[in-house]
Structure 1
Amino acid sequence: MLEFLRYDGRKRIRGSLYVSIGLALLAAVVIWVFPSFQESFEGDELLEAYPEGVLQLFDIQTMASLEGFLAFELYVFGWTILFGLYVAYSAAEVIAADVDRGRMDTLLAMPISRARLLAERFGALSVPILTINVLVPPVVLVGAWLIDERIAVVDVIAVHALSIPYLFACGAIGIVCSVAFDRAGIAQRAALGVTFGLFLLESLLQETDYEAVGAIAPMRYFDPNEILLEGTYDLAGAAVLIAMTVVLVGVAQLWFTRKDI
């Protein structure tokens, strides 16, 4: 049972460690440079020089505290954008790569349904998602301690825990693209475009007459600022992301089951 999940999961371990190291280094650098910028951002006076569009796009609320600095530099940029794009990109090759390379017929000759094959290979995305969210928080907490800054341990754990449903939702976007396109490169570019496009949609439509359209974007339901600055956790938003993932994976399974290879 779960042979494909285990096989794909093992293949993703090395890449997960590399990405973990990259994001851990990003976290360390962000924390290391914060004391140098802290006085410049005192009272958020420097933020007044930023264009309004940039503040809205990246949801920058404050950079005068370590929590605000991390929310923007690490969690909005590093997690919501970079890590979200990475997961969507990785998911986009799950089906399309084997179709593109002519290996899918061999896989489908095995006694396994298409729906199960897709579900198990999608489930292997849990390896990078969970690995990175386990390895990076200690770097954040130790880094904050080293520069003598207080940061709530529970909030750091919460921001990583609540990012997990968000990242699976990004992966679900990628898996739909993987079924939609038979060329892996096209599927991956489509996943990147759709995911980043949804980020722009949600960011730029805030406080406009079309704000409701942004409800289709996973980014609406994961807000690092809310967690780190206010200490509030949007559990309803996490439930929406889980539902969004289930629906998108279900659509991908149905599409894949009916698709000619």
Structure 2
Amino acid sequence: MTTTTSTTTVPGSAALARACNRSLFTKTLYDNRRVFTVWAVATGLLAMMYAGFYPQINADTMAAVPEAMRGFGLNDTTTAAGYLQGAVFGLLVPLLVTFYGAATGARMISADEDSGYLDLLLAHPISRTRLLLHRYAALATGAAVIAAAVLGALLAIRTSAGLDTITIAGFTAQALNLALLSLLFGALATAIGAVTGAGRAIVFGTTAGLGVATYALHGFAPQIGADWLRYLTPFHYYIGGQPLTHGFQPADIAILTVTTTVLIAAGAWRLNHRDLGR
């Protein structure tokens, strides 16, 4: 008498095991390729569109800017650097990359824990720290692609839009700070999810809310005579040194980088010590 034993395989588990054995980073990158592409294309096109309006700016434009908006970088629209610092890198673009970091960071740990997929991942030979770092590395790659798209878009119209007074180094420095800003909020969302085990919606809402609050604080602080409050926000270190004009600002870059590193380290430490069943 012959006994036949059948084995049931969980759909997708074999592919997941192969991915874990190779690189969870490349799998995360591949799974999010469309999301990263959409964010990069949309942000690059938006930056290009607003930068393209510069030739239409005249002397009356500055007078038409509300006083309350001067703190958002719109205090000098007569020069190319001043215009871009306000209209492009001071308004919508930093908010977009903040939301990218919040939305993508919320997916890295929280979405998997919500769905129960995190347990399946950790059943394979991969540590919690490695999981978090691989996921965050994919987020960082997306942030770099977005910053590169913005840089490429602006360099493409640099001559036609009359932006030649800004050096390529200045554009590159501002694009680097843009990527670092996105990485910081991505690290914040990833850390909140890893530390608290909160759901994806809560993590995104909390991170995005903090982003908008610090953005508003940075913009409105001069209006209430409290410029010192700007130093408490990441947006000061993102644009306060005017990288478009002065190029790379090592101190600002270091502060953004160290803050991001601390957030990721805290998230990894807590994830390693937290009972995921609770």
Match of 2:218 among 180, 194, 202: 202
* Mapping of residues 39-78 of structure 1, within 5 Å: 39-41=59-61, 44-47=62-65, 50=66, 52-56=67-71, 58-78=72-92
In the alignment, the residues of structure 1 paired with residue 163 and residue 263 of structure 2 have an alpha-carbon distance, to the nearest angstrom, of 41
Structure 1: stretches of 5+ with no match in the other structure: none
Match of 1:31 among 38, 51, 68: 51
Relative to 1, partners in 2 of residues 1:130 and 1:2: Cα closer, same or farther, differing over 3 Å? Answer: farther
* Higher mean C-alpha displacement, 182-191 vs 148-157: 148-157
Task: Tell me if the contact between 1:71 and 1:225 (Cα under 8 Å) persists in the aligned partners.
Answer: no
In the alignment, the residues of structure 2 paired with residue 255 and residue 211 of structure 1 have an alpha-carbon distance, to the nearest angstrom, of 35
| Secondary structure of 1:145's aligned partner | coil
How many residue pairs get aligned? The number is: 254
Task: Tell me if the contact between 2:48 and 2:150 (Cα under 8 Å) persists in the aligned partners.
Answer: no
- Give percent identity, aligned residues only: 20
Task: Report what 2:257 is aligned to.
Answer: 242
Deviation digits for residues 87-139 of structure 1 (CA, Å, limit 9, x no counterpart): 12210121110111111111111112111111111111122111122222222
CA positional deviation for 1:224: 6.5
Q: Please give the root-mean-square deviation of Cα atoms over the aligned residues, in Å.
A: 2.3
* Mapping of residues 1-261 of structure 1, within 5 Å: 3-41=23-61, 44-47=62-65, 50=66, 52-56=67-71, 58-150=72-164, 151-179=166-194, 180-206=196-222, 212=228, 214-223=230-239, 226-228=242-244, 230-261=245-276
CA positional deviation for 1:215: 3.8
**TM-score, normalization: structure 2?**
0.82
CA positional deviation for 1:39: 4.4
CA positional deviation for 1:46: 2.6
In the alignment, the residues of structure 1 paired with residue 44 and residue 200 of structure 2 have an alpha-carbon distance, to the nearest angstrom, of 29
Structure 2: stretches of 5+ with no match in the other structure: 1-20
Relative to 1, partners in 2 of residues 1:147 and 1:12: Cα closer, same or farther, differing over 3 Å? Answer: same
In the alignment, the residues of structure 1 paired with residue 229 and residue 82 of structure 2 have an alpha-carbon distance, to the nearest angstrom, of 27
| Secondary structure of 2:73's aligned partner | coil
CA positional deviation for 1:75: 1.1
Structure possessing the higher radius of gyration over alpha carbons? 2
Task: Tell me if the contact between 2:218 and 2:235 (Cα under 8 Å) persists in the aligned partners.
Answer: yes
